[in-house]
Structure 1
């Protein structure tokens, strides 16, 4: 698995080079960042499994160390005994015959045990070499994804070709921001605002197979209370630092920027009176009214990405290690929240 992930990172590096020449650099860089993120996640998981397997083998070897030492001591004492004495037994010829039969049965078992230990030691050496060789791959991957993120930010700032749907009353948004005391109140007020522009593609809210906007693990489903005992109508997804957030469906940017205590918020309208609220981003991309295609980047999560040297060790802590950022995802129909699980493929 780790070797396959290393191949994914190499392919992402090639994609980054190709993206420099792509006509649609935003799309190319978005795909490149996704490739890097998937490759790094897979490599991290591969290293985690390798570390666990190595620990299992080491514990098994340590558990048998004393037994092996005793057997070696017996064998060494036999080797140092005079040959004539080895052929005699105190019980006479019958005892000598029986001891010979026992020795003939024990010897193959000892050989099998020795072969098992040899294979375990070889596997430990292979796993250790794999983890050491992955360090540079990780370092290159982390540097590559950071380079791609920087290039993406620049490409988005240079983008001028997206269509826009503008609010009929732009000042109404400012008044709503100043007056709204909750996310629900803000989203409800935003739904009532009229805009002008070309209609979006028909949105089917019951698809159930849209990709999540960010790679991560669902911490809380809709209606589940968090550690503070607060239940929200949306879902909370734990992500790794600087993870890329994208829109799962063609959508208009209805709001982007800081809101209340949610950090940076992106509110997208996929059409049909529905809204998708993404809260907790560090950076947000795009301008108000822009119509984004599916899979377009809308921002980055916060936090500090791990350094290459610390990355392999953290992988041994578990598959959820280093998912320190959280993205809140809420779906709304009109002025009412609905369960996002009916939109997204949540495993």
Structure 2
């Protein structure tokens, strides 16, 4: 074999060993008849499961400081509705952002885990090949030409072995380069996994803190709401009775806004502020006022401005086939368990409670004949007649999904065949919380897509 070939092989050996420094092939490999040892795969990133008392103390101290700051903020916001609302909006927006980052990081970790598993399986199946390649390369490094693999006793055997080795050289080189590439990729994946898991821990800590803050702020808001605008138990019972006796959402809204006191007053307030759409770009100054008690702008002019009500991944879009011969009337978003849900737009709550297969259903009158339906939550945190701002927390997701897209009634005004017999498709559990959002204009479902504000993190899964 030519010295150039040996040089190539030695270079490959160095590359392979550099890619996997944890691999060590015993010298016995160079001896004839020695069995190839088991070659270990790259070690996984160590699991730091030990208790870090310093970190725990720092977390406790940070939490205590956050609670003190929150109490001070609430004290400063006494009697100041705008200030409390601003704290709610800021905390809810920050929580949504962290939730979305968590979703992205968790998705990335799942991909990396799959990649690491595939690479580990592939390398595991080639342990023997890996040992043989390393053994051959190391033997040739120790026995330069005219050394040969079979140690022949005569020149003819030496020539034959050299010819055989020359024929195997290209294949050996390809195998060595492939192994080096796979081992290097596995090392990179595991390093990235460690970094992603560190980010995950940090994000979860931030989310826990914001969630606690949000819960306290929502509790304070509802306490003030009950003091300033108490909801009579009779009104709440009447709304629930109407919901039980009604077969579809269109009829539900019509009856609520004509028969139930708080809902009727909310509808009157929405009607009173309804105004024609102004030409040109809307004046967004009113959006900066967290103390407002009416919508900042007309709903048709809010296109491209409304935040998605929850962080997550859009599973189904408006107009897509629903699997039962119809089309989706809204959008469905997969969320994390316990994720906070915010109002998509300014408006008045005309219903908040259970309804048919929707589960917990929130209906907001946004004025101008527009209504927003939000369903799939475990708990709703606002009351009938309450005015809410776009981005203000109104509910909390549970830990089990409710697939409500197929419960939407079809036909003009929601009075198609399904509505006539009062039947709806059953709720299905998939193990992941899902939020359903639908926009309606004069009782008819409309595409909400033009209203959503564009975000870099928004993803759609078909």
Counterpart in the other structure of 1:212: 308
Higher strand share: 1
- Does structure 2 conserve the Cα–Cα contact (< 8 Å) formed by 1:239 and 1:323? no
Q: Does 1:258 align with 2:331?
A: no
Give a deviation string over 1:121-162, Cα, whole Å, max 9, x none.
532542454466456436535633542443243233244599
Q: Pick one of 356, 363, 374 that aligns with 1:267.
A: 363
Query: 1:28, CA displacement in angstroms?
Result: 3.0
Length-normalised TM-score, structure 1: 0.69
Structure 2 match to 1:287: 383
Of residues 88-97 and 118-127 in structure 1, the stretch that sits farther from structure 2 once superposed is: 88-97
Give the direction of change, closer, same or farther, for the CA distance of 1:28–1:83 in structure 2 (3 Å limit).
closer
Could you say which residue in structure 1 is the equivalent of 2:444?
336
Confirm whether residue 147 of structure 1 aligns to residue 212 of structure 2.
yes
Contact 2:103 2:312 in 1 (8 A): no
Please give the alpha-carbon distance, in whole angstroms, between the structure 2 residues aligned to 1:217 and 1:123: 28
Check the 8 A contact 1:156/1:285 in 2, yes or no.
no
CA-to-partner distance for each residue in 1:275-334, whole Å, 9 max, x for gaps?
1111222211223222222211111112279xxxxxxxxxxxxxxxx8612222222212
**1:58 matched to 2:120:** yes
Asked if structure 2 preserves the Cα contact closer than 8 Å seen for 1:275 and 1:333, the reply is: yes
Aligned partner of residue 204 in structure 1, secondary structure = helix
2:268 corresponding residue in structure 1: 195
Greater RCO, CA 8 A, separation 6+: 1
User: How far 1:255 sits from its partner (Å)?
Assistant: 1.9
TM-score between both structures, scaled by the size of structure 2:
0.54
Structure 1 distance, partners of 2:90, 2:183, is: 48
- Count of aligned pairs: 315
For residues 250 and 304 of structure 1, what CA distance do their matches in structure 2 show?
A: 28
Distance across 2 between alignment mates of 1:122 and 1:172? 62
Structure 2's unaligned 5+ residue stretches are 1-58, 74-82, 259-263, 274-294, 402-429
What is the distance in 2 between the residues matched to 1:244 and 1:189? 29
Query: Per the alignment, do residues 337 and 101 of structure 1 end up closer, same or farther by CA in structure 2, a change over 3 Å counting?
Result: closer
> 2: CA distance between counterparts of 1:328 and 1:81?
71
CA distance in 1 between partners of 2:192 and 2:447 (Å): 44
Matched-pair contact (CA < 8 Å) for 1:188–1:334: no
* Equivalent in the alignment of 1:186: 252
Measure the CA separation in 1 of the matches of 2:302 and 2:207: 37
Residues 1:303 and 2:411 aligned together: no
Tell me by how many angstroms 1:44 deviates. Answer: 0.7
The CA deviation at 1:336 is 2.7
In structure 2, what is the Cα distance between the partners aligned to 1:52 and 1:160?
49
CA distance in structure 1 between the partners assigned to 2:191 and 2:142 by the alignment? 36
Q: Distance in 2 between matches of 1:84 and 1:232?
A: 75
- The structure with the largest alpha-carbon Rg is 2
* Structure 1 unpaired stretches of 5+: 1-9, 306-321
Q: Which residue of 2 aligns with 1:318?
A: none
Match of 1:34 in 2: 96
Partner residue, 2:434: 326
The answer to whether the Cα contact below 8 Å between 1:222 and 1:233 also exists between their aligned partners in 2 is yes
